[in-house]
């Protein structure tokens, strides 16, 4: 479960500013990689998302979207799957006109996915504790002989913001660029491309 912030568009230029800050800024060699691409896509309400309503007296009520995409408001059910965050919040506020706030939480599976040139493409659970990129690759029984370890992609999506990181895991396996061994978050997808000779 992750909290949705609707200022995602403001976060996109921050990665760019690090690259254009000029020679006075020094980024350590072990710092994590900057996304090679980012995109902001409109967020749409999905199954199991939640709206947390805080009443004037501070009491909280959590409403969850059903697997079918409906939300129970009072005695009636409304189809909310596919709504924008603004439409969803307006609908909830209409049913709770005296609410102090309405917070929308995006449901995120607690899994990461490893695809491409690994011996076993997997979905693995993060429930057993923190996991890094190389831990996930190891869970997939490692790279195949055809794997391009220099251009491994990590795709991360959160509340409509999609960031793609390109990781040089070959360098990391030589003990350099250890900051590329990123700590994984729920929903991350790692793709290991084929090395075309």
Q: What is the pLDDT of residues 29-81, one digit of tens each?
A: 446 787 887 877 777 888 888 899 999 888 999 999 998 999 999 888 999 99
Q: Where does residue 107 fall: left (phi above 0), alpha (psi -120 to 50 degrees), or beta otherwise? A: beta
Q: How far apart are the first and last CA of the chain?
A: 42
Q: How confident is the model at residue 197 (pLDDT cuts 50, 70, 90)?
A: low
CA 61 to chain centre: 25
106 in Cβ contact with 49 (< 8 Å): yes
Distance CA 99, CA 58 (A): 9
Q: Which two tokens stand for residue 72?
A: 């129970």
Q: Supply the pLDDT for residue 25.
A: 42
pLDDT at 3 over 80: no
Q: For 138-144, what is the mean pLDDT?
A: 95
CATH class of the domain defined by 2-41+109-192? alpha beta
Q: How confident is the model at residue 13 (pLDDT cuts 50, 70, 90)?
A: very low
Q: What pTM was estimated for this model as a whole?
A: 0.59
The fraction of the chain above a pLDDT of 70, given in percent, is 82
Q: How confident is the model at residue 159 (pLDDT cuts 50, 70, 90)?
A: low
Task: Locate CATH 3.10.560.10 in the chain.
Answer: 2-41+109-192
Look over the chain and give the mean of its residue pLDDT values, rounded to a whole number.
81
CB atoms within 10 A of CB 27: 12
pLDDT at 14 over 70: no
Q: Where does residue 54 fall: left (phi above 0), alpha (psi -120 to 50 degrees), or beta otherwise? A: beta
Distance CA 77, CA 79 (A): 7
């Amino acid at each position: 479960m992750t909290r949705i912030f609707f200022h995602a568009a403001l976060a996109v230029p921050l990665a760019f500013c690090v690259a254009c800050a000029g020679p006075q800024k020094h980024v350590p060699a072990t710092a994590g990689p900057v996304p090679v691409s980012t995109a902001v896509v409109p967020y749409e309400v999905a199954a199991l998302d939640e709206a947390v309503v805080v009443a004037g007296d501070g009491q909280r009520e959590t409403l969850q979207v059903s697997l079918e995409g409906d939300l129970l408001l009072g005695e009636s059910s409304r189809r909310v799957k596919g709504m924008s965050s603004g439409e969803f919040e307006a609908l909830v506020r209409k049913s709770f006109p005296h609410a102090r706030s309405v917070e929308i939480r995006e449901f995120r599976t607690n899994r990461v996915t490893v695809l491409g040139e690994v011996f076993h493409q997997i979905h693995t659970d993060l429930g057993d504790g923190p996991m890094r990129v190389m831990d996930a690759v190891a869970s997939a029984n490692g790279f195949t002989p055809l794997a391009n370890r220099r251009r491994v992609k990590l795709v991360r999506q959160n509340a409509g913001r999609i960031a793609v990181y390109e990781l040089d895991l070959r360098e990391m396996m030589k003990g350099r660029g250890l900051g590329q061994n990123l700590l994984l978050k729920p929903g991350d997808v790692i793709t290991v491309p084929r090395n075309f000779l």
